Amino acid sequence: MFNFFKKHKKPEQPKALSCISFEINEDGTINIVCDWPDFTDDNVKSLATIARYYALGIHAVNCGLLEADIIETLKNHDTSNPYNNLFVHNVLIEIINIEKTIREKNPAYHKPVISPLNVLNEEN
C-alpha cells in the first residue's frame, strides 16, 4: 500500500512527493514535521494530486491502517547491530501493551456497533 524507508534502503527508492515525519524526543514528546514541495506556476498542476495522497497518508496513520506495514518494516530491520533486535522486540511488546491497556480501559474498543447476534435475529 505505502512504501516505507528501511534502514537498508533498496537502490531504487521512488522520489518522495511529500513527507510527514514523527520525531520522538527524549522527554517523550513528539514533533510532527510536515513537508511538501514548494509550489510554483511550474508545478501547480500537481498540487491537487499531491494533496490527495498527503490526505490519504494522514488518514491511514490516524486510522491505524499502516500498523501492519509499520510492524513488517520493523521486522525487516538492519540486524548487523544486535541492539536493533532488542529495540524492535521492545517496540513490538510496547505496541501489544498499549493495545491491551486501551482494551481494558474501553471495553467497547474493537466491539462491533451492531452485535452479530442482533443482525442474525433481525426479521426481514
Could you tell me which of 33, 3, 35 has the C-alpha nearest to residue 17? 35
E strands, the chain, where?
19-24, 30-35
| pLDDT per position as a tens digit, 75-113 | 999 999 999 999 999 999 999 999 899 888 887 766 655
| pLDDT per position as a tens digit, 18-52 | 999 999 999 999 999 999 999 999 999 999 999 99
| pLDDT per position as a tens digit, 56-67 | 999 999 999 999
- Check: CB of residue 22 under 8 Å from CB of residue 28: no
Question: What pTM value is reported for the model?
Answer: 0.67
Cell numbers for 45:
498542476
pLDDT of residue 115: 59
Identity of the amino acid at 72: E
d(CA 32, CA 52): 19
pLDDT of residue 114: 60
